[in-house]
Structure 1
Amino acid sequence: MPNVLVSDELSPRAVEIFRERGIDVDFKPGLKPDELKKIIGQYDGLAIRSSTKVTKELLEHALALKVIGRAGIGVDNVDVPAASSRGVVVMNTPFGNSITTAEHAIAMLFALARDIPQANQSTRAGKWEKSRFMGVELYGKVLGVIGAGNIGSIVADRALGLKMKVVAYDPFLGEERARDLGVEKVELDELLTRADFITLHVPLTDQTRNVLSAANLAKTKKGVRIINCARGGLIDEVALKAAIESGHVAGAALDVFTVEPAKENALFALEQVICTPHLGASTNEAQENVALQVAEQMSDFLLHGAVTNALNMPSLSAEDAPKLKPYLKLAEQLGAFVGQIMEPGLKRIEIRYAGQVASLNLRPLTAVVLKGLLGTQVESVNMVNAPILAKERGIDIVETRVEESIDYQTEITVQVTTERGTRTAVGTLFAERPRVVGIDGVPTEAELTPHMLLVSNQDKPGFIGAFGRMLGDAGVNIAGFHNGRSGPGGVAHCLVSVDERVDDGLLRKVAQLPNVVSVRALRF
C-alpha cells in the first residue's frame, strides 16, 4: 500500500480522501527539518503547503519518495531541479486559490485607498482623527495590472466593476485578449507613468525580479499606491522605502516579502505601508479546494500512474514515454529559448515537426513547447495548463507535420509572432541530445546549457575578440562558444555557454560594443 506524509496543515477531508482511495497517510504538520529528515525516507508521497521546505538535502534522505504534492500555486519552497534529478514528480494545484488571491488584492486596494488599518488602530486607541485619514476614491482612477494571467485578469474584472480604468502589461497579452478583458494593453513604462494604483500578478523569475526597481519606481506617477499579493522579490524593498519616505509613492499594501516569514522588515516602520502575512490564499474555500485537489492528484499518481498538474513531468502513457523522452527535452528547450528572446505582445506560436519526429504523438510535444515558452513569464506552467494559459491570452497555436526528408533526420521549428515581428529557433537531436541548429534563419549550432548569452551583431572584424576580452576581464569563464552568420558582413548570432549568471551591468557593457544589435542572458 502506498503511503503519504502530510507535513503541513491540510483540510481533514484531504486525509480522508487518501484513506478512501487506499493510501496509508500520516498527518504530522509542524515537523522541524531534522525531524522530517529522519522519517521522510519511508514515504512514497509528501503533501505540503508553504511551510515545509523541500530542499536538496531533504531529498537526499527521501529514498522512496515518488511524488510531492503542493496544495497551492507557488513551489518556491520546493527545489524542483533537485526533485527532477531524483525522479520525484512535483505537482501543484494552479487554479484552486485564484479567486481568493484576487479578492485579497482588491481588499488591499480598498485598505490602501482609505487607510483602513491605520484608522482602525487610531480609533481603538481612543483618538478621533478624521482629518488625518483623508483617503482617495477608486472611481475613475487608473489601475495598472502587471501580469494579466489567471489572477491578474480576475483583479482587472473586479476593478472594472468599481469603474476604474485598467491598463495591463503582460508580454503574452494580445490585443484581442485585452479587448475581451476590457483592459488597455500597454508597455511597462506607460503603465508606470499612468497608473494611480499598481498591482503585481507575475511569478518571480529572472525577468520579473525587481520589476519595480528604483529606476522603475522613479518613472511612476507621484502619489502612486502599490499592491503586491504575488511574490516577494518583485519590488526592490529598499527602493520602495526610499520612494515612500520621499513622498513620491503614497503607500503600499504588501502580502509578500523578499524574506519570509517576514518577522523583521524596514518597511514595517512606515505608517504608509499595510502588511499581511502572505494571506492571499488564506480562505476556508481556497484551502479546502487545493487540499482536495492535491489529495486526488497524488492518489491517482501513486495508484494508477496518472500525472496531473506536474511541473517536471509530462502527461504521457507508458507506451509513448520511452519514444518521446529525448524529443520532449528538445521541445521544452526550444520553447524556453524562443520565450527568452521574443518581444512582448505574443500573438501566434507555430510549431513545425519534420522528419522522424513527425510520426510520433505530437500533442505532448506541443504542450511541452508551450510549457517552456510560457514558463519564462508565467507561474506554475505545466503540460496540462500551458494550452489553457495560451488560450486565455488569445494566442493562436499552429502545429504542422512534415514527414519528407530534410537537412536532419528530425527537426522541430518554433516560430513566434509578436506585435513587433517574428523570432524563430530550429532544433534537432544528435545522439538523443538536443541542439539548436538555427536562429531566425541563420544556421547556428549549439547544445543548450544552464547559463548562456545570445549576442546578435553585424558580422564585422574584431567583434569576437573584443567580446571575449570583455568577458575575460569580468572574470566570466566561457565554457562553449558557437557562432553563426547569414553571410559575410551580414547578421551573426553568437551563443556562449558560461559557468554562471551574467549580471546586468556586464550585459549593458556588451550591448555597447560596436556592431552589437542585441544581447540576451538565457537560462535552461
Structure 2
Amino acid sequence: MAPRVLVSDELSETAVQIFRDRGIEVDFQPQLGKDKDKLLEIIGNYDGLAIRSATKVTPKLIEAADRLKVVGRAGIGVDNVDIPAASRRGIIVMNTPFGNSITTAEHAIALMFAVARQIPAADQSTQAGKWEKSRFMGVEITGKTLGVIGAGNIGSIVCARANGLKMNVLAYDPFLSEARAKEMGVTKVELDQLFAQADFITLHVPLTDKTRNIISADALKKVKPGVRIINCARGGLVDEAALAEAIKAGHVAGAGFDVFEVEPAKESPLFGLPNVVCTPHLGASTNEAQENVALQVAEQMSDYLLKGAVSNAINMPSITAEEAPRLKPFIRLADVLGSFVGQVTDSAIKEIEILYDGSTAAMNTKALTSALLAGLIRPQVSDVNMVSAPIMVKEKGIILSEAKRDKSGVFDGYIKLTVTTDNQTRSVAGTVFSDGKPRFIQIKGINLDADVGQHMIYITNTDVPGLVGFIGTTVGNAGVNIANFQLGRSIQGGDAIALLYVDGDISQDLIKALEAHPQIRQVKPLAFNVE
C-alpha cells in the first residue's frame, strides 16, 4: 500500500506534485492546520504530515497519529512541533535548514543598510512632503567591523556578503575552527572581543538555553558605543527591553529586528524608537525561498517513506539515499544484536558499550547505534524504534559508549555489544556475510557461526559428553524441528553455549524439559523479526 501524506499548510502545487510523482498518495488540505479539531480527527490516517508554521503538532495530536512516521516542516523553525513527544512515539521530525539560507542572509544585510542609512524613516518623511536632508545622516558600511554571532549556514553567507562589502568581519562561534575561519576570510574571536570591536552586530544562532538573551543588559554595557544590532534569527536572543534602554541612552545607535520575543509582535519596547527598523519575520519571505523549502520537504519526506533515507532530521541520524541500501543489512544486524541481549537480560542495564570493528567503523554508526538500542529496549517496550530508543536510554541514565577500530580479525567488519547490569556482563558480536544476512560470531566471548532465525533457543551449559544428544532428543520429542544447531565452548569441560534455530514456536514445557538437565544453567527462547 502506498504511503499517505497529509499537507495541512500552504505548499506549492509543484511540491505536492513531487509526492504524487514519487508514488505517494497525498491529501492537500492547506487550511486544515488552522482547524485543530478536524486535524485531530483525521491524522490517524496518514504516514506523513507536511506543514509550515500554522499547524501545531502537539502531544495530543501525536497521540492520535497512530500511523504517523514523519513530520516535515517546510522551513527551518520547528517551534510548532513538540519534538520530545514526537521522538517518544518514534516520529521523525524533519526541517529544511538550507532552503531559505540566502534569503535570510540577504534580509540581515538589507536591515543593516536600512539602519545604517535610516532608509525607512527617510522614506516616510519624504513621502510626507518634508525634505529633511540634514536630519538623516547615515554611516558607511565600507571599512566598518561586522560582528557575526553564529557562523553556521546562514551566518557564513552573511560573512561572505560582508567581505564583498569590504567590511572587517569578526565571528563568534564555539564550533568554528581556525582553519574554517581563515577559509571564510573572517577573524574568530570570543564574544566579549566581538562586543568591544564591532560597529554592527548580527545574530545567526538558534534559540537555546545557552543563547537566550546572549545580548543581555550586561552584554550591552560591553558593546562599542554607536553599535547597530541586527536580529533575523530568533526572538529571545536579545533582551528587547534592555536594548531599548541602551538606544534611548544613545549607547546603541540603532537596530534592525525581524524577529521578536513574542510573535506576532503587536507591541515591543523597540517599537517607536528612533532608527529602529522592524519587519514581521520576513527572513524567509521570498518567492524563491518559499518554493525551495516546499520542494525540499517533499523530496525529503518521499525519500524517507519510500527508501528509508533520512535527511535534515531533528531527532534522528541522517541516512542518505545512496547509503541506505548498503546500510540496511547492518542496521538489521545491529537490531538483532540488541534484541538478543535484551531478551536474555533480566536485570536493569547500567552500561552499554558498542564496538565497531573494521568496515563497520567507517559506516554511519549513529544510525547503527540507534538501531541497536531499539533492539535492546524492544523486549521491554514493544513500540520503541530508532528515533525513540536513544531518548529512552538517556532518560534511564544508562551510560552509553562507542568505540571504533581498524580490522582486528578474520572478518572485514563486525559489531560487538557489551551490556553491564548489577549482576553480570553480557556480550555478543555479529557480522553480515555477502548474502546480506546477519550472523552471530561470538557470544560471551565464545566464538561460533550462527544464522539468525525467527525462532531460536539459547542455552548456556557446562561442556559435558551427551548434552548435544539430550538437547536434540528433547527438542524432537516436543515436535519441534531443528533447522540449525550451533555450539561453542571456552575450553574442554568449561563454559559452553548452544544456539538452536528451530522451525516453530517454543513452548514453556520444552523450556522446562531442557532446564531439567543438571549441566544446563540457562535456557532462553528468542524471537527475531527476520523480514
Deviations along 1:274-333, whole A, 9 cap, x unmatched?
A: 1111111111111111111111111122223222222222326443335546999xxxxx
Task: Tell me whether 1:186 sits opposite 2:189 in the alignment.
Answer: yes
Structure 1 residue 112, shift from structure 2 partner? 0.8
In 2, distance between residues paired with 1:251 and 1:429?
58
Contact in 1 for aligned 2:195/2:223 (Cα 8 Å): yes
Task: Tell me whether 1:364 sits opposite 2:332 in the alignment.
Answer: no
Superposition pairs of residues 298-377 of structure 1, within 5 angstroms: 298-314=301-317, 315=319, 317-324=327-334, 356-358=355-357, 361-362=360-361, 363-365=363-365
Aligned length: 362
**Structure 2 SS opposite 1:320:** helix
Contact in 2 for aligned 1:354/1:403 (Cα 8 Å): no
Which segment is superposed worse, 22-31 or 8-17? 22-31
One-letter amino acid of the counterpart of residue 74, structure 1: G
* Residue 243 of structure 2: aligned partner: 240
Structure 1 residue 78, shift from structure 2 partner? 1.3
Cα pair distance change 1:312/1:108, threshold 3 Å? same
* Residue 110 of structure 1: aligned partner: 113
- Which residue of the other structure, out of 217, 222, 234, is the alignment partner of 1:219? 222
Contact in 2 for aligned 1:8/1:29 (Cα 8 Å): yes
In 1, distance between residues paired with 2:180 and 2:294?
31
**Structure 2 SS opposite 1:358:** strand
**Structure 1 SS opposite 2:228:** strand
* Residue 89 of structure 1: aligned partner: 92
- Which residue of the other structure, out of 39, 58, 64, is the alignment partner of 1:36? 39
Cα pair distance change 1:326/1:132, threshold 3 Å? farther
Cα pair distance change 1:326/1:177, threshold 3 Å? farther
Contact in 2 for aligned 1:6/1:27 (Cα 8 Å): yes
**Structure 2 SS opposite 1:109:** helix
Task: Tell me whether 1:99 sits opposite 2:102 in the alignment.
Answer: yes
**Structure 1 SS opposite 2:270:** helix
* Residue 430 of structure 1: aligned partner: 420
Which segment is superposed worse, 356-365 or 304-313? 356-365
One-letter amino acid of the counterpart of residue 320, structure 1: F
In 1, distance between residues paired with 2:70 and 2:249?
49
* Residue 464 of structure 1: aligned partner: none
Unaligned runs of 5+ in 1: 329-352, 370-382, 384-398, 413-427, 433-524
Cα pair distance change 1:430/1:267, threshold 3 Å? farther
Unaligned runs of 5+ in 2: 339-351, 370-386, 388-402, 410-414, 423-531
In 2, distance between residues paired with 1:103 and 1:256?
15
Deviations along 1:347-403, whole A, 9 cap, x unmatched?
A: xxxxxx99744367333226899xxxxxxxxxxxxx9xxxxxxxxxxxxxxx95167
- Which residue of the other structure, out of 275, 281, 285, is the alignment partner of 1:282? 285
One-letter amino acid of the counterpart of residue 98, structure 1: S
Cα pair distance change 1:9/1:192, threshold 3 Å? same
In 2, distance between residues paired with 1:167 and 1:50?
33
Cα pair distance change 1:325/1:200, threshold 3 Å? farther
Structure 1 residue 23, shift from structure 2 partner? 1.7
Cα pair distance change 1:187/1:43, threshold 3 Å? same
In 2, distance between residues paired with 1:221 and 1:252?
14
Task: Tell me whether 1:127 sits opposite 2:126 in the alignment.
Answer: no
Deviations along 1:88-113, whole A, 9 cap, x unmatched?
A: 11112221111111111111110110
- Which residue of the other structure, out of 139, 143, 163, is the alignment partner of 1:140? 143
**Structure 1 SS opposite 2:364:** helix
Structure 1 residue 50, shift from structure 2 partner? 2.3
* Residue 156 of structure 2: aligned partner: 153
- Which residue of the other structure, out of 54, 66, 73, is the alignment partner of 2:69? 66
- What's the % identity of the aligned pairs? 66
Contact in 2 for aligned 1:356/1:403 (Cα 8 Å): no
**Structure 1 SS opposite 2:141:** coil
Task: Tell me whether 1:401 sits opposite 2:405 in the alignment.
Answer: yes
Structure 1 residue 211, shift from structure 2 partner? 0.6
* Residue 7 of structure 2: aligned partner: 6
| TM-score (normalised: structure 2) | 0.63
In 1, distance between residues paired with 2:120 and 2:235?
21
Structure 1 residue 220, shift from structure 2 partner? 0.2
Structure showing greater relative contact order (alpha-carbon pairs closer than 8 Å, 6 or more residues apart): 1
Cα pair distance change 1:8/1:166, threshold 3 Å? same
In 2, distance between residues paired with 1:228 and 1:3?
39
**Structure 2 SS opposite 1:105:** helix
One-letter amino acid of the counterpart of residue 21, structure 1: R
Contact in 1 for aligned 2:48/2:69 (Cα 8 Å): yes
Cα pair distance change 1:39/1:367, threshold 3 Å? closer
In 2, distance between residues paired with 1:367 and 1:177?
27
* Residue 55 of structure 2: aligned partner: 52
Contact in 1 for aligned 2:359/2:407 (Cα 8 Å): no
**Structure 1 SS opposite 2:300:** helix
Contact in 2 for aligned 1:15/1:295 (Cα 8 Å): yes
Cα pair distance change 1:361/1:172, threshold 3 Å? same
Contact in 1 for aligned 2:358/2:408 (Cα 8 Å): no
* Residue 83 of structure 2: aligned partner: 80
**Structure 2 SS opposite 1:47:** strand
In 1, distance between residues paired with 2:336 and 2:199?
49
* Residue 423 of structure 1: aligned partner: none
Contact in 1 for aligned 2:334/2:368 (Cα 8 Å): no
Which segment is superposed worse, 304-313 or 157-166? 304-313
Structure 1 residue 34, shift from structure 2 partner? 2.7
Contact in 2 for aligned 1:354/1:401 (Cα 8 Å): no
In 2, distance between residues paired with 1:280 and 1:169?
21
Contact in 1 for aligned 2:172/2:190 (Cα 8 Å): yes
* Residue 500 of structure 2: aligned partner: none
* Residue 28 of structure 2: aligned partner: 27
Cα pair distance change 1:368/1:354, threshold 3 Å? closer
Superposition pairs of residues 337-486 of structure 1, within 5 angstroms: 356-358=355-357, 361-362=360-361, 363-365=363-365, 401=405, 429-430=419-420
Bigger Rg, which one: 2
**Structure 1 SS opposite 2:174:** coil
* Residue 510 of structure 1: aligned partner: none
In 1, distance between residues paired with 2:311 and 2:179?
30
Cα pair distance change 1:367/1:63, threshold 3 Å? closer
- Which residue of the other structure, out of 207, 210, 215, is the alignment partner of 1:207? 210
- Which residue of the other structure, out of 271, 276, 279, is the alignment partner of 2:274? 271
In 1, distance between residues paired with 2:141 and 2:88?
49
**Structure 1 SS opposite 2:27:** strand
| TM-score (normalised: structure 1) | 0.64
In 2, distance between residues paired with 1:227 and 1:189?
17
Cα pair distance change 1:158/1:47, threshold 3 Å? same
Contact in 2 for aligned 1:354/1:402 (Cα 8 Å): no
